[in-house]
Structure 1
Amino acid sequence: MSGWVTVGVDGSVHSLDAVAWAAREAENRNATLRVVHVLHQPATVAFDPGLARAAADRLREEAKQLVDDAAARARSIAPDIGISELVLPGEPLTVLEEQSRSSQLVVVGSRGRGGFKSLLLGSTAIGLAAHGRCPVLVVREQTDPSGPILLGVDGSPAGAAAVRFALEEAAAQGARVVALHAWTNWNAPMPPPQDPKEPYSNRPGVLATAEERLLTEALAGTSERYPDVKVEHRTVRGPTRPALIEASRSARLTVVGSRGRGGFSGLLLGSVSQAVLHHARSPVAIVRG
């Protein structure tokens, strides 16, 4: 076995979907699956210490049963993987962030059983996407499993890591990749003018050509490293967020970097990755640079 794939479970439908995805990831990566449930014990007031101990014991028993059930689901999907079961005290985000330090990948459901139904994404998924020390995959509604892996490309360092992640996923899953780069006149760097005396002397189409070149350069060498993966280059003139969200409708997985080339350096998550996390119609992987 090589490394860990960690999945956070809380008994919700979304977390069981995350277990299924994580089991397949562990199998593809020849990794051990680490099933983690965080036991958060709210403060209680009990006049009888015996009752308090009984309540704590019951919570621990329920937690153990929960991870046992999750492990059983994982074995039904990938019978040969190694599985480690952990029940850890604390806050979910803090515990899972710590687990991410030794993981190849952390997988969580989009919303836990404690979330409000109207929320698109739970606080743990959002926080882990921002603070996780490895790629974080958030599992939401399932789409066509035969669809492509959608890769958002912008030429940033995090985007380069996302390219590697998406191509490796595609190779493991036998999927094709749609590499999408969206640009507008406002978010694309202007190429040097052809005539230095005329700063706006570029011919029509020069900017579009430069953005197509950016996509090609971002994917340079991938056909040699992943010869069996078909990659479609797609350049779209328009805002990035709606372009990725619309394209995610037919994707099995959407992969983006944590922060793009136009983001502020202090931000952990850029506006595009946040929008995709909340609104994509497929599971989403956030990859740090």
Structure 2
Amino acid sequence: MADTGPGSASTSRRGPVVVGVDGSADAEDAVSWAADVAGRQGLDLILLTAVASGVHVTATVDSPPGSTADAVLSRARRVARDRLGDARVRIDVESDHGTPAGVLVDRSETAWLVVVGTRGLGEFTGGLSGSVSTAVATHARCAVAVVPAGTARATGPVVVGVDGTANSMPALRLAFTTAAARGERLVAVHAWSDVDLHLEPDAWSRTEEGEQAALAESLAGWSEEFPTVDVERVVVRDRPVRELVARSASASTVVVGRRGRGGFRSLLLGSTSRAVLHSVEVPVVVVPAGDETR
């Protein structure tokens, strides 16, 4: 069912937080960030590693360390526990045969959030490289967080892109949920157009007034549902990427909607989400539109 706004049942999907691990420092940063999210949201945490076909491993919660996969998962579990502290979160470890992107996309069917690092070692798992994170963000059935190295403890407001359509609704819910859980301010960035515009000052003034009203209307229901979240509304003339990237310098997280082409499965990331994903240096969460998760 498509997400139609505050209170929508589809946005209450509360599966686990799934994080891809491969033993790299980047992946451990992703584990730390994912553990923090799971703790704040009260969700289970699943540490998932992908093993190349033809490589035999056994990795279960109770299996002793022995294989490379076991060692990677054991280390990731310690990182998660260190980040969680006294927070009571169930942690499961899993391994699956296949490519990292394929395994994570399959697991996204039942997850609330999939988390990946930006790069990996590329050893037995094939690595969580930049191409893998892009593939997962493009094809996953749930929201995907891409965590750059060294940003697991980033602080500051949550920045979200808003386009005024129903496609923004899932991203807005996740952004408000995140800001409320973190006790952070929310910065909602809305651009009238995705292309460069050349308007006379008077024309832009009139347009800006209307767009401000439209943005306020888009946010009204969410502010009622999340009354503790302080919201800053930002309207820009064009190119939302510029403002999102600029705002990311002092943000903890940037949230964008995924507006891909292809009627049945969002085959491509939208230009804004792709540009943000590759331009900012804080965790970016890419959220599918409601009609992509049916």
TM over 0.5: yes
Deviations 1:117-148 (A, max 9, x none): xxxx6111000101001110000142873311
Give the aligned residue type for 2:169. A
The answer to whether structure 1 residue 123 and structure 2 residue 131 are counterparts is yes
Q: Is the 8 A contact 1:144 1:250 kept in 2?
A: no
SS of residue paired to 1:219: helix
Distance 1:174 1:218 in 2: 21
Give the aligned residue type for 1:29. Q
Equivalent residue in structure 2 for 1:15, among 27, 30, 39 = 27
Q: 1:182 Cα shift?
A: 2.3
SS of residue paired to 1:208: helix
Equivalent residue in structure 1 for 2:72, among 66, 69, 74 = 66
SS of residue paired to 2:122: coil
Equivalent residue in structure 2 for 1:95, among 100, 103, 106 = 103
Q: Is the 8 A contact 1:143 1:281 kept in 2?
A: no
Q: 1:100 Cα shift?
A: 0.5
Distance 1:91 1:176 in 2: 38
TM-score (normalised: structure 2): 0.80
Equivalent residue in structure 1 for 2:171, among 148, 155, 162 = 162
Cα distance change, pair 57–71 in 1 and its aligned pair in 2 (3 A) = closer
Considering only aligned residues, what root-mean-square deviation do their CA atoms show, in Å?
Answer: 2.8
Distance 2:33 2:152 in 1: 13
Cα distance change, pair 146–90 in 1 and its aligned pair in 2 (3 A) = closer
Q: 1:187 Cα shift?
A: 7.5
Specify every segment of 5 or more residues in structure 1 that has no aligned partner in the other structure, as ranges. Answer: 43-54, 116-120, 189-201
Cα distance change, pair 38–220 in 1 and its aligned pair in 2 (3 A) = same
Distance 2:116 2:83 in 1: 17
Deviations 1:254-287 (A, max 9, x none): 0000018xx7756531000000000112110001
SS of residue paired to 1:180: strand
Q: Is the 8 A contact 2:179 2:185 kept in 1?
A: yes
Partner of 1:180: 189
Distance 2:48 2:225 in 1: 34
SS of residue paired to 1:228: coil
SS of residue paired to 1:163: helix
Distance 2:80 2:219 in 1: 34
SS of residue paired to 1:279: coil
Deviations 1:90-131 (A, max 9, x none): 11111111110011111110112239xxxxx61110001010
> How is 1:1-289 mapped onto 2 (pairs within 5 angstroms)?
3-41=15-53, 56=56, 61-78=67-84, 79=86, 80-114=88-122, 122-141=130-149, 142=151, 145-184=154-193, 205-259=205-259, 267-289=267-289
Aligned-pair identity (%): 38
Q: 1:87 Cα shift?
A: 1.3
Distance 2:112 2:58 in 1: 33
Distance 1:122 1:154 in 2: 27
Specify every segment of 5 or more residues in structure 2 that has no aligned partner in the other structure, as ranges. Answer: 1-13, 60-65, 124-128, 290-294
Give the aligned residue type for 1:94. G
Give the aligned residue type for 1:130. T
Cα distance change, pair 57–169 in 1 and its aligned pair in 2 (3 A) = closer
The alignment covers a number of residue pairs equal to: 258
